[in-house]
Structure 1
């Protein structure tokens, strides 16, 4: 909005002078990104029926942690060989497969601009295409998991890049894959029990100080049942495993190429990895680095 004023005033030196004033009030233009995201992610979603085979001889469980995929920067073509290797591992067959969505699946929290949840402006990416490729990726691994496991769970938390968009994306996942147990939540962390293994997932940008103690406090019943406890995180884009008083902290890398910000600041040395973790009833047995 704008308002203009004109008036005259006496000046000692110049006598009567003309004065002008313009007041302009501005605010950021706001696109209805959430409405567009809902429309794109849930418009005419038809549940996908996958032939489901129950095999009582399957004993081990598989966990597929998906941390910091950053679709938009990441293209499906970038991880084609990794996806083939992951599918080979899934095809071995398991009692339960858990797909962990550990935040920043999408590079931006908006559709028509590229920004984090906090409003930090990022290099432009094509978010509609990013959503489409994230859908294709998820459909590929969930379909394979449903065929090769007695049970499939999908657990999720949002990230600092995509907290709102991630919530909408998980609504699509839940509607698309009715045969899986899909956890849609707006929490910063969640936990589940895989036989006698307690696993918590959180993106890694919050709850950094005493995550093991918080896990024991928030999930007392599962903590009491569990033989081992783990916390799975991402956020920092490099691989790290630490045992903190019996709670194993697994920080996962990202498979995405380095973006302009990472190149500028020299954060280019980390391995670009995906993971698949095989557990028996009580602990991790095999860790695949893909």
Structure 2
């Protein structure tokens, strides 16, 4: 569907220097995609729709050009002779107007440049940390609200040497799941700028990750489905996986799933958004993750969804329903939801819960 990956690249490879190609793809509200490219090509382009599609990594058999603005100018290279700087912006739509979400995600993620590998500093510690991020509902205007909490999180992370850290993307990290400002199920919400939303998410979480990698021997990132942002949330987890693919002390569990678990020392850390399976948490996690469950000395479950804090012992399995600093919107206001607004982090020893921090 989307970009040609195993392709017949003959017409493009004969023109383009792929090492210098920079492409950006943005989905539009009407389902079309705007693609921009800056590159150097070895011969003058013919500017045909087929050439433009292939230059932007789209299969002409499955895509058509809706609009285009392209230009080129020649340059002289002492090593390669005459070449052309090529700039192009096109709007494309699939033939048949069908959009494959999985392939769109693959297309976007493939253009995220991985960060340079940073050699980890390994120092033995008996301190472990969970950073649960549930219901942040980033909407392009949220980051300034979370800055104070982010600074507190960074202060805590920087204050210790952590043996292992688990960062949980617990669902509803983004407020909406489409350019039409709707949730996964199509519920209409306030107008939201998705591009700015993802930018905010990158700033917030990459700042956290950078600090954790400097002060923790290992970082495990896990993600679970929310009810607002299944597609955007999964896309964002994939972007982070791509960005940190070279980091040797960071691991990922981002497969699309409602229920996740990780062993933090001998602490079983479960995670689910909190909108499904509430009546069977113990049996669900004990059966799904039997090996980890059996090894654990301490078992805890992180949930969100309700935007309120609650701690409950389910019978040897403590549920920590975490709150959020998300500003009150029309939906929560009409429901009459009143809750203390905070984020929290939880510190563990190898086998026990030590401290809950509110930030």
TM-score of Structure 1 vs Structure 2, range by shorter chain:
0.7 to 0.9
Q: TM-score, normalised by structure 2?
A: 0.69
* Residues 265/36 of structure 1: CA separation in 2 closer, same or farther (3 Å cut): farther
Shift of 1:244: 1.1
Higher relative contact order (CA 8 A, sep 6+): 1
Paired with 2:336 and 2:117, the residues of 1 have a C-alpha distance of 44
Paired with 1:271 and 1:84, the residues of 2 have a C-alpha distance of 19
Shift of 1:44: 2.5
Q: Which moved more, 1:42-51 or 1:269-278?
A: 42-51
Paired with 1:33 and 1:78, the residues of 2 have a C-alpha distance of 34
State whether residues 52 and 147 of structure 1, in contact with CA within 8 Å, keep that contact through their aligned partners in structure 2.
Answer: no
* Deviations 1:23-56 (CA, angstroms, capped at 9, x unpaired): xxxxxx9724947963785252111236444233
Paired with 1:82 and 1:261, the residues of 2 have a C-alpha distance of 24
* Residues 211/76 of structure 1: CA separation in 2 closer, same or farther (3 Å cut): same
Q: Which residue in the other structure is 1:56 paired with?
A: 123
Asked if 1:96 corresponds to 2:170, the answer is no
Paired with 1:172 and 1:136, the residues of 2 have a C-alpha distance of 12
Q: Which residue in the other structure is 2:64 paired with?
A: none
Q: Which has the larger radius of gyration?
A: 1
* Residues 129/164 of structure 1: CA separation in 2 closer, same or farther (3 Å cut): same
Q: TM-score, normalised by structure 1?
A: 0.84
Q: Give SS of 2:151's match.
A: helix
Q: Give SS of 1:113's match.
A: coil
Q: Which residue in the other structure is 2:329 paired with?
A: 259
Paired with 2:107 and 2:342, the residues of 1 have a C-alpha distance of 29
State whether residues 198 and 229 of structure 1, in contact with CA within 8 Å, keep that contact through their aligned partners in structure 2.
Answer: yes
Q: Which residue in the other structure is 2:357 paired with?
A: 288
Q: Which residue in the other structure is 2:203 paired with?
A: 136
Paired with 1:55 and 1:187, the residues of 2 have a C-alpha distance of 31
Shift of 1:57: 3.2
Q: Give SS of 2:292's match.
A: helix
Asked if 1:72 corresponds to 2:147, the answer is no
Paired with 1:52 and 1:146, the residues of 2 have a C-alpha distance of 10
Paired with 2:141 and 2:323, the residues of 1 have a C-alpha distance of 13
* Residues 86/184 of structure 1: CA separation in 2 closer, same or farther (3 Å cut): same
Paired with 1:249 and 1:221, the residues of 2 have a C-alpha distance of 20
* Residues 66/74 of structure 1: CA separation in 2 closer, same or farther (3 Å cut): farther
State whether residues 201 and 231 of structure 1, in contact with CA within 8 Å, keep that contact through their aligned partners in structure 2.
Answer: yes
